[in-house]
Chains A and B, each alone.
Chain A
């Protein structure tokens, strides 16, 4: 056990956990932030995607000890009122089916647009291929990313 100071969604938290604990489980079990999902635990499905210093990372493979001084954003902190351009586009396109993968999809998409406000189809496909959707909502995800990209441009 060790004590860590975490900076999540603009707040500072103190947690006492095993240093090897992936940040995913610290968020879910200790900080009550369950929007970040568990899907595989081996960085294959993207359900656990969060932002560390603004970049998308898989939280299931990231030990708490590696991020304790960095700025973390989770789906809960992406916006105050579901009004991040990506969230708005998701609502507009009615993307979710079961919805389980969508927090991870949104975090990946938000980071993509942050780095590349006007991605090509190929760039969207390449970046988003790390996020599995068993319900098969890829087609809408792409459409939503495109409209979020246009809206950011405007």
Chain B
């Protein structure tokens, strides 16, 4: 029997109510936004009873479950409620899911990031379901005057076998509301799961395929105006002057103004990254009218001087200084600067044994440099937010991954207390890290406050792509030392980037090599960067897994066997103490992909590459098969094996694996953001290449490790390793190593 404490962290979670007063009738926004079928309406209860902050039960047995975390396409809006429904012993067909608003009194960590939604909510969600089930059982015991232990539940029905009594959850909901929750609750054994580990389709799918207003960009309110911004054309520039006479006179235009998103002297938070805090804003009646007026503005820009601002640390107690250098940067200079910096001394992050000696005594040294460019996020739904700010309150609606942090930033900026700010999360047309940084939400609030009207702020694709918080540009040097028997005796990684480096010094192959050195260096920049799907891993996985292929080849070993030998060493006789991975699970996915792909038997006519990687608490391995059509590589198939603990919703987890695989291949192959004199050179999809349908793998086969380990996330882990598997397969197909992303520009040559 598994017991769980109901006081969890700093609060007792199941006592707080999400809504004023229990047992009230609640109107459904989804009914308003969809044309309901007659039987959908008939299914609605007359009365809802709120059991705890996560769920309410209708008198007819319908159950509404609140999904606390932002939905950015990772499908938590289905999988999180599944975990609650499991412990509640509900019938999934009776469940309606609603997106919860930001509510820090009820929910913890309403954030989408780091692939942590499921992992960090697992216990809390189970508790919410188990708590509600407990209350229903107690209510039935009282009503029927029988011992609670004798009552069983299944699919939304309570039964007492001895007396032959049964009741649906709806019949006991009213009585359950007032039952107190004990300090400890019993959870189900994993073997008894009926909903978790079964495939449940996306709860929003029907609304998506019929075009219902689900996204931030779709949100509307009576009297709402449209706002768009103009930001400097180059990083390193700021506003000098605006001439707006013509724009103001254009049809439908209400106002043109300059705003400061973050006021000087006020500290920002980590998620307040913003290269262009001063913006010109055009406000009008309709999108097209505002777009036309934007073009009629006459704006002068000027280079800025270096500056700095204060940023709160995570605890928000102390601040540190963030420095922004002046200058108009270009990709060609970046490459020169990185090459130079890579030759200089760097910070030693980890050192085991005596790497210098190992390299001196080596029989053979393999050395390679890998690079990757800046990347834009390019969520298909561009940045946008709705704001209605009055003297009394602020209502904010839209797509954001960090509502809890951004609420504080808005509060600081517009001078309203937190309890007067309401943030509603819409479905989000992709996140990938971009919507962790919510300057657009603050912009919308400031604009609404100034025009005294509800406003929807919309970025065009060009605004979105050229106002990026990009993935940094990376440069890594790898060296490996082999002795005369071809044993790996030394490993050196020196990782750098602009303005951040990608390095996990305590991850594989650390721990598996006697003499190991990990170093890092950085070069400053005024181009803003931030988390991009699988931060750091989105580069280092591909580089490391390609380099290990080179080393395996030099050692004359099969690439899978070579990796497995290293895992063997890390399991039996690990080097160092801070190793941050489980070598057994790591080796497990690699062995599984070897078997599933028929590595040794199944490769006639195919060029195969392999990779395995661990990040965000999950393990993934790939085998990728290429067939050459003339001089064109065609990706025939990708095998993915995954260990993410318990798989909550297999159909959705498989979808994430497929999508992440395509996304990883696409970015390694085609995508880059380059700069000339501070100007982003790609500002729409004619110049910025994203992978398209005909370039995706023809087949993707996904296998999950059967596991009873607590579930971990899948938003990010599928993306990194496939970049390495692709590079390794391309090598087999072309005889050339691909060192520089994106590969489509002949990635064997350093770009200039």
Q: Which residues of A contact B204 (CB under 8 A)?
A: 96, 99
Q: Whole-angstrom distance between the alpha carbons of A138 and B684 in the complex?
A: 21
Q: By the criterion CB–CB under 8 Å, are B205 and A136 in contact?
A: no
Q: Whole-angstrom distance between the alpha carbons of A33 and B662 in the complex?
A: 31
Q: A30 in the interface, Cβ–Cβ < 8 Å?
A: yes
Q: By the criterion CB–CB under 8 Å, are A91 and B201 in contact?
A: yes
Interface size of A by CB at 8 A reads 64
Cβ proximity bits B424-442 to A, threshold 8 Å, 1 near / 0 not:
0001111110000000000
Q: B655 in the interface, Cβ–Cβ < 8 Å?
A: yes
A residues 60-80 touching B (CB-CB < 8 Å): 74-76, 78-79
Closest CB-CB distance, A49 to chain B, in whole Å?
11
Interface of B is mostly: loop
Q: A29-B287, A100-B430 are in contact. Are A135 and B211 (CB under 8 A)?
A: no
Q: Which residues of A contact B75 (CB under 8 A)?
A: 97
Highest count of chain B CB atoms <10 Å: which of A28, A100, A101: A100
Q: By the criterion CB–CB under 8 Å, are B666 and A100 in contact?
A: no
Q: A134-B380, A136-B662 are in contact. Are A99 and B685 (CB under 8 A)?
A: no
Q: By the criterion CB–CB under 8 Å, are A140 and B209 in contact?
A: no
Q: Looking at the complex, which one of B209, B288, B662 makes contact with A91 (CB distance below 8 Å)?
A: B209
Q: By the criterion CB–CB under 8 Å, are B693 and A125 in contact?
A: yes
Q: By the criterion CB–CB under 8 Å, are A96 and B211 in contact?
A: no
Q: By the criterion CB–CB under 8 Å, are A40 and B288 in contact?
A: no
Q: By the criterion CB–CB under 8 Å, are A39 and B289 in contact?
A: no
Q: Whole-angstrom distance between the alpha carbons of A87 and B206 in the complex?
A: 8
Q: By the criterion CB–CB under 8 Å, are B211 and A136 in contact?
A: no
Q: Whole-angstrom distance between the alpha carbons of A153 and B583 in the complex?
A: 51
Q: A118 in the interface, Cβ–Cβ < 8 Å?
A: no
Q: Which residues of B contact A99 (CB under 8 A)?
A: 73, 202, 204-205, 208, 214-215, 427, 429
Q: B591 in the interface, Cβ–Cβ < 8 Å?
A: no
B residues 19-77 touching A (CB-CB < 8 Å): 37, 72-75
Interface of A is mostly: loop
Binds A, one of B2-10, B239-247, B472-480, B694-702: B694-702
Q: A113 in the interface, Cβ–Cβ < 8 Å?
A: no
Chain A: CB-nearest residue to B381: A100
Q: A94-B652, A100-B429, A136-B666 are in contact. Are A18 and B380 (CB under 8 A)?
A: no
Closest CB-CB distance, A47 to chain B, in whole Å?
6
Q: By the criterion CB–CB under 8 Å, are B205 and A42 in contact?
A: no
Q: Whole-angstrom distance between the alpha carbons of A142 and B658 in the complex?
A: 13
Q: Whole-angstrom distance between the alpha carbons of A101 and B215 in the complex?
A: 11
Q: Whole-angstrom distance between the alpha carbons of A47 and B429 in the complex?
A: 11
Q: A97-B655, A98-B429, A139-B662 are in contact. Are A17 and B288 (CB under 8 A)?
A: yes
Q: A103 in the interface, Cβ–Cβ < 8 Å?
A: yes
Q: By the criterion CB–CB under 8 Å, are B211 and A90 in contact?
A: no
Closest 3 CB pairs of A and B: A35-B211, A98-B73, A100-B429
Task: Give the interface of A toward B (CB within 8 A).
Answer: 1, 17-18, 20-22, 25, 28-30, 32-42, 44-45, 47, 74-76, 78-79, 81-82, 87, 90-91, 94-103, 106, 121, 124-126, 128-142
Task: Give the interface of B toward A (CB within 8 A).
Answer: 37, 72-75, 199, 201-202, 204-206, 208-215, 217-218, 220, 226, 251, 286-289, 292, 378-382, 427-432, 460-461, 651-652, 655-656, 658-663, 666, 684-686, 690-700
Can you sample 13 A-B contacts with CB below 8 Å?
Answer: A1-B251, A17-B286, A18-B251, A32-B220, A91-B205, A94-B201, A94-B205, A98-B72, A98-B379, A129-B694, A134-B378, A139-B662, A139-B699
